[in-house]
Structure 1
């Protein structure tokens, strides 16, 4: 199990409160992940990593998100890139980068939302890709959502070819034509420094293909993606972190005990469902979407319960309850499949 020490989690929880007011990159959190070997979790052993089984990886995410959602989310974006690299690790370049991640703590991130949930209504591709006769790829366009691009060594992203196929490539941050915009001002998680990256005729060597060209490149060679169990686990971990704070309120307000107990029971049931689905290798898309809806609902209701318990004090900017409400809303927009959105809207309007 990727269990980090109680002291690590206590520090992470305390430090998370200092992240919220501004958008400073969490250097110390990332460095502590490196020092603890967390960046090795998804790297195969042949490259010096730990190659954790999926259930252990999700338990690690659960613990981290319970202490600090910002840190856990940053790690998922790094690991999403690493897992894509693993699927293309027969490539010498990808193999060398995976070794650098395990040995030196190289930091990666992804820009792939335009292949799944973001800007799918547009007729023209957000990022266009084409290949020169010598094999060099060129990317031109704007990647709408990239987390921590200014601090990543590598970005895994891509575009659509004229024939509709898609390709994923490894892009070095300092490549000519890569322009990282000022991070967007978000409702929460501003320390993740998430925003747009422009690719102006960026040239990428032929050996840096991560996946594709293929009709649906996001389905090539890796698990996870939009609505995957990992996103649900982070929602559950965030809810458990809020419940930890609600438990503190119970000590002085006995009337909250029953409500908190019911929320804990729901969280326990959801955790069992998630780990069972993981053991079954994700199960069906429908079951993953149902689990995601349940996780979104739980974290939203738990944050509202915490605010109600704290009353007016919780409505003051900077209070943990106010931050909990904003962070819970993140799961309504992050990698959220349309089926989950529809379930949420139906629930809000009391429709079956």
Structure 2
């Protein structure tokens, strides 16, 4: 049984691409999600396959992408996360790196890296967060010391999604300590480069498929040709990337919530209690009705935020609203779905516990709910 939401994207979407995402998710994600989450199998092969199918969605055709647009990308994330959110987060982070690379003014680096990132020959990772610098990205301390021919980089990055699989690391580094955002540059590194050490995977409560690690630089050399965004432009690129990521998190949370409703409706329709199906009890209808309202509101807000990206004028405040509501609504909807299944909702076979943990992980990605409130609060202050 499939939950059918009412909220619709603004503008056209590529229905064939969305159908392909649903088919891929049913065939690959549904049977493997639990094994990936428990660390019993690696999603890397599937990730590279998904990259070749879906990363090009919002990349212009003249750069080798499909040119389908942001609304289609949002719907793809929904369909994939409906089955497994952790895997979809790994794909989304890679896609964000690819979008950033498509916008790099360094044509040589862009033209060399994009075909690999679009085909899945290379997996990308986005390195901004550090052990002592999370939400305050201006305080990063990984130092890119100017040297003859480029930069020598020393420092440590934390919470690197795709760290286990990535071939290309897009690292944001400080070239001029004390200069804040003005000194930040974005440098590209290849896996295995001298001075680049990828550490073992972090032991998280969920989303193991993201392959999250820490990473350290010890005098790693980045030539001038590896500068994706120079000082003065890189921080703005990073903030745009964060907004893209927040939109993706909202879409994935909506998908995870819809998947939970799928499970809840199927179970409640098939389970008999007190002489009738669970879904026929008014109390259960009301529980699921509240969850459905939250999903509809979150999807409508996410599609509204996506429309601004389509128009080339993303609204950071609107995206913050969407990310905040998406994570909250999904956590509540999955919790309610688990109630619909009773004790069976605690069983891994139903996937709800895995998805609940993944949503909790996503709440910390790209800014917590409190950081979303900071963004929203600044907007409100400007209106006062």
Change (3 A) 1:278 1:122: closer
The 5-angstrom pairing of residues 14-53 of structure 1 reads: 14-22=31-39, 24-34=41-51, 37-53=53-69
* 2:337 counterpart of 1:306: yes
Is 2:18 the counterpart of 1:3? yes
* Rounded Cα–Cα distance in structure 2 between residues aligned with 1:184 and 1:107: 19
**Deviation of the 1:308 alpha carbon:** 2.1
After superposition, what is the alpha-carbon deviation per residue over 1:52-71, rounded to whole angstroms, capped at 9, x for unaligned? 31222112112111121122
- TM-superposed deviation, 1:196: 0.3
2: CA distance, partners of 1:147 / 1:224: 14
Secondary structure, counterpart of 1:41 in structure 2 = helix
Distance 1:222 1:181 in 2: 26
Bigger drift between 228-237 and 175-184 goes to 228-237
2:321 corresponding residue in structure 1: 290
Q: Distance in 1 between matches of 2:235 and 2:138?
A: 18
Question: What RMSD in Å do the two structures reach over aligned CA positions?
Answer: 2.8
- What's the CA shift for 1:23? 5.9
Aligned mates of 2:175, 2:222 — CA distance in 1: 14
- Preserved contact between residue 198 and residue 215 of structure 2 (Cα < 8 Å): yes
Aligned ranges 1:252-267 → 2 under 5 Å: 252=271, 253-254=278-279, 255=281, 256-267=284-295
- CA drift of 1:280 comes to 2.8
Residue 198 of structure 1 aligns to a residue whose secondary structure is strand
Matches within 5 A, 1:162-311: 162-163=176-177, 164=179, 165-214=183-232, 217-220=234-237, 223-225=240-242, 228-251=246-269, 252=271, 253-254=278-279, 255=281, 256-281=284-309, 284-311=315-342
Quote the Cα distance in structure 1 between the aligned partners of 2:347 and 2:291.
24
Q: Structure 1, residues 245-293: CA drift from partner, whole Å, max 9, x if none?
A: 1111221212323322332233123212211222133654332222222
2:124 to 108, 114, 127: 108
2:71: which partner in 1? 55
Name whichever of 169-178 and 316-325 sits farther off: 316-325
Rounded Cα–Cα distance in structure 2 between residues aligned with 1:122 and 1:168: 13
- 1:340 pairs with 2:358: no
Distance 1:187 1:266, change over 3 A: same
2:162 and 2:171 map into 1 onto residues whose CA distance is 14
Structure 2 vs 1, CA of residues 332 and 116 (structure 1 numbering), >3 Å: closer, same or farther? farther
8 Å CA contact 2:254–2:295 kept in 1: the answer is yes
Q: How many angstroms apart in 2 are the aligned matches of 1:335 and 1:34?
A: 21
Q: Secondary structure at the match of 1:203?
A: strand
What CA distance in whole angstroms lies between the structure 2 residues aligned with 1:85 and 1:307? 40
The equivalent of 2:86 in structure 1 is 70
Deviations along 1:112-159, one digit per CA (max 9) or x if unpaired, are: 234996174996x43111211x33111101111112223221110121
- CA separation in 1, counterparts of 2:355 and 2:292? 17
Question: How far does residue 106 in structure 1 lie from its aligned partner after superposition?
Answer: 2.2
Q: TM-score, normalised by structure 1?
A: 0.86
Structure 2 SS opposite 1:149: coil
1:324, distance to aligned residue in structure 2 (A): 3.1
Q: Deviations over 1:174-221 (max 9, x none)?
A: 10011111111001011222010011110011111111212x733138
- In structure 2, how many angstroms separate the alpha carbons of the residues matched to 1:316 and 1:16? 14
* Structure with the higher fraction of residues in helix conformation: 2
Q: What secondary structure sits across from 1:225 in the alignment?
A: helix
Deviation at 1:103, TM superposition (A): 4.7
Which segments of 5 or more consecutive residues in structure 2 lack a partner in the other structure?
1-13, 272-277, 376-384
For 1:270 and 1:317, locate their aligned partners in 2 and report how far apart those are by CA, in whole Å: 26
| Structure of higher RCO (CA pairs closer than 8 Å, 6+ residues apart) | 2
The residue that corresponds to 1:347 in the other structure is none
Question: Does the 8 Å CA contact 2:123/2:168 hold for their aligned counterparts?
Answer: yes
